[in-house]
Chain A
């Protein structure tokens, strides 16, 4: 079966002098409309993988297929039209002089007519709720607002896949929650295939599927609820686990018996209430 993204035996290293591969024999299949989270500690290679998907780095071996088309020098620009990326640092991806100018940047690159551009920019800004800031300069925006502008820039281009490369990691809690809910909206309402690279466990737990990268290799690929059962193992490789899992570990230490299956916050609250308040 063809997925929207198919990666076969992908290898990459930043410098020929490196003995170790920075991405090592990656095989990955992503279905259309799926939300895939990629987690891993800093330097594990997760952002490198994202760049390989968009052809921003050149692999040493292996193949990348996007929407059935093989990524080559020739197909590069066509493939990039199908992929939108939102990066980590809100300041360093703001190209335009003001909000609407930045949203329009990608459209200008594709040579879209002006009338069409204005309509698309307006609509995209409405989706991210930034329509009242169209003329604002980046200095006058918060980090979260700048990320929303970056998302609008992607929306306006109407790609099939959107990759969020640690887009929430430099934001304050309020900005972070806004962006997470926007990611969710883009996947579930707008129907984009979403890849979110993150170490934010709240973000990862919303995904359909999570892969774990360590040392340039995919070491786990499962449903979030399956993955989070492996609480201690995740902590060992430098990752976090959802709060109910942490509490579970803490209770186990105190000799409390708790069902082994994964519980989200609501089911954990319910289980505790039932156990404490029963009879």
Chain B
């Protein structure tokens, strides 16, 4: 679990770190949409250049981004191979049964690969430069209009932020309980399926019990500190839309226009 990199914040004070989380969230989603506008070398080169620029601006070494790709590498390769073997059109290099390798297939393979990597890099960029709480605050503010149709946006955001806050605590707890049960002779992840399922019980039950106890403690503590629903609450954190955020939005508008012009 320690190797999980996607979703890990790295402290910093770069241009990207300082952007408004709302802007980052929105532009990251927007980026994923416009990646699908790319359909030739020019557009992919342009997008790759943009992402590289953002990576540079974030002051985070490229290694972290490449690590983010690793867990998905099999999925990516599988999709790329599908493209290479099953696309038609263009010059045929090789042919066997249902498999055909053509030059357009090869190109498509490369494009699909680029698309995956660009999207992963961009979402890694978001999570590496934005704390979970900023993301949850940003979401709350972006979704605020939904309160009009009675969606409890505030409560959802608080739940999300408490959940995020307890992720590391519960991961620690999981490791501790696993160690305790290992010491009592449980082998996690060994043997046949039934054995494996059985070995999860001594982990899950204590984890549930402890989570319930924590939840009860937390509820008491929140009540003692005067929490009684979202009504009348003020917010400590403020998100500030700065000049750089506006510049970033304009940059993305220009980028979109460029893509539309360059694509076939």
Direct contact of A and B (CB under 8 A): yes
Binding site for B on A (CB under 8 A): 51, 54, 56, 77, 80-81, 83-85, 87, 89, 91-98, 100-101, 104-114, 117-118, 121, 137-139, 153, 157
Does B214 contact A92, Cβ atoms closer than 8 Å? yes
The dominant DSSP class at the B interface is helix
A109 B226 Cβ-Cβ under 8 A: yes
Contacts of A138 in B (CB 8 A): 165, 168-169
Measured between C-beta atoms, what is the minimum distance from B9 to chain A in Å? 9
Q: How far is the CB of A261 from chain B (nearest CB, A)?
A: 40
Question: Is B232's CB under 8 angstroms from A97's CB?
Answer: no
Of B46-54, B116-124, B216-224, which binds chain A? B216-224
Residue total for B at the interface (Cβ-Cβ under 8 A): 30
B154 to A: closest C-beta gap in Å: 11
Are A114 and B222 in contact, with the CB atoms below 8 A? no
Which residues of chain A have C-beta atoms less than 8 A from B136's C-beta? 97
Contact (Cβ within 8 A) B217 A95: no
B228 close to A (CB within 8 Å) = yes
Contacting residues, chain A, for B73 (C-beta < 8 A)? none
| Contact of A97 (CB < 8 Å), options: B164, B169, B222, B226 | B164
Q: Indicate the member of A93, A111, A121 with the most B CB atoms within 10 Å.
A: A93
When A106-B226, A109-B225, A109-B227 are in contact, do A95 and B218 touch as well, CB less than 8 Å?
yes
Judge whether B226 and A117 touch: CB under 8 Å.
no
Judging by beta carbons under 8 Å apart, are A108 and B233 in contact? yes
Contact between chains at A117 and B234 (CB < 8 Å) = yes
Cross-chain contact A117 with B214 (CB below 8 angstroms): no
Identify A101's interface contact among B214, B221, B232, B236, CB under 8 A. Answer: B236
Of the listed residues B164, B168, B223, B224, the one surrounded by the most CB atoms of chain A closer than 10 A to its CB is B224
Find chain A residues with CB under 8 A from B238 CB. 114
- B228 nearest CB neighbor, chain A only: A77
